[in-house]
A and B are shown apart, each in its own frame.
Chain A
Amino acid sequence: MWQWFFRLGSPKWFYELSGRWLPWLVVAMTVLLTIGIVWALLFVPADYQQGDTIRIMYVHVPVASISLACFPLMAVAGVITLVWKMKLADMVAKCAAPIGAWFTAVALATGAIWGQPIWGTWWAWDARLTSMLIQFFLLIGVIALRSAIESPDAAARACALLSVVGAINVPIIKYSVEWWNTLHQPASSFSMAEDSPFGPEIWVPLVIMIFAVYLFFVISLILSTRTEILVRERRSQWVVDLVAADKTQGA
Chain B
Amino acid sequence: MTALAGPQVTTFTAFRATLRRDLLIALTRRNDLLNPLMFFLIVVSLFPLGVSSDPQELTRIAAGTVWVSALLASMLSLDNLYRADYEDGSLEQLLLSPQPLYFMVLAKNIAHWLVSGLPVVLLAPLLAYMLYLPADAYWTLMLTLLLGTPVLSLFGSIGVALTVGLGSRGLILAVIVLPLTVPVLIIGAKAVADASLGVSLGMHYALLGALLALSLSLAPLASAAALKISVN
Physical contact A–B (CB less than 8 Å): yes
Question: Does A176 touch B at the CB level, under 8 Å?
Answer: yes
- The answer to whether B172 and A148 touch across the interface, beta carbons within 8 angstroms, is yes
Question: Does B162 touch A at the CB level, under 8 Å?
Answer: yes
Q: Which residues of B contact A168 (CB under 8 A)?
A: 218
Number of residues of chain B lying within 8 A (CB) of chain A: 27
Q: Which residues of B contact A144 (CB under 8 A)?
A: 172, 175-176
CB-defined interface of A133-160 with B at 8 Å, one 1/0 digit per residue? 0100110110011001100001001100
A179→B180 CA distance, assembly (Å):
17
Number of residues of chain A lying within 8 A (CB) of chain B: 28
Q: Which residues of A contact B225 (CB under 8 A)?
A: 82, 161
Q: Report if A145-B226 is in contact (Cβ < 8 Å); known contacts: A137-B179, A172-B183, A180-B190.
A: no
A137→B179 CA distance, assembly (Å):
6
CB-defined interface of A110-141 with B at 8 Å, one 1/0 digit per residue? 00000000000000000000000010011011
Question: Does B49 touch A at the CB level, under 8 Å?
Answer: no
CB-defined interface of A161-193 with B at 8 Å, one 1/0 digit per residue? 110111011001101110110010000000000
Q: Chain B nearest CB: distance from A27 CB in Å?
A: 39
Q: Report if A172-B176 is in contact (Cβ < 8 Å); known contacts: A154-B230, A158-B162, A158-B226.
A: no
Identity of the chain B residue whose Cβ is nearest the Cβ of A176 in the assembled complex: B183
A158→B225 CA distance, assembly (Å):
9
B162 contacts which of A162, A176, A183 (Cβ < 8 Å)?
Answer: A162
Q: Report if A149-B166 is in contact (Cβ < 8 Å); known contacts: A161-B222, A165-B222, A166-B180.
A: yes
CB-defined interface of B179-209 with A at 8 Å, one 1/0 digit per residue? 1101100110010000000000000000100
A-B contact count (CB 8 A): 75
A164→B172 CA distance, assembly (Å):
18
A173→B181 CA distance, assembly (Å):
9
Identity of the chain A residue whose Cβ is nearest the Cβ of B184 in the assembled complex: A176
Identity of the chain A residue whose Cβ is nearest the Cβ of B171 in the assembled complex: A144
B172 contacts which of A145, A154, A161, A176 (Cβ < 8 Å)?
Answer: A145
A173→B180 CA distance, assembly (Å):
8
Question: Does B9 touch A at the CB level, under 8 Å?
Answer: no
Q: Which residues of A contact B182 (CB under 8 A)?
A: 134, 173, 176-177
Q: Which residues of B contact A138 (CB under 8 A)?
A: 179-180
Interface residues of chain A, those whose CB is within 8 Å of chain B, are 82, 134, 137-138, 140-141, 144-145, 148-149, 154, 157-158, 161-162, 164-166, 168-169, 172-173, 175-177, 179-180, 183
Interface residues of chain B, those whose CB is within 8 Å of chain A, are 158, 162-163, 165-166, 168-169, 172, 175-176, 178-180, 182-183, 186-187, 190, 207, 211, 218, 222, 225-226, 229-230, 232
Q: List 15 A-B contacts (CB under 8 A).
A: A138-B179, A141-B175, A144-B172, A148-B163, A148-B169, A158-B230, A165-B158, A169-B183, A172-B211, A173-B183, A176-B207, A177-B186, A179-B207, A180-B187, A180-B190
> What 19 new A-B contacts, CB under 8 Å, besides A149-B166, A162-B176, A165-B180?
A82-B225, A137-B179, A138-B179, A138-B180, A141-B172, A141-B176, A148-B163, A148-B168, A149-B165, A154-B232, A161-B229, A164-B222, A166-B179, A169-B183, A173-B183, A179-B187, A179-B207, A180-B186, A180-B190
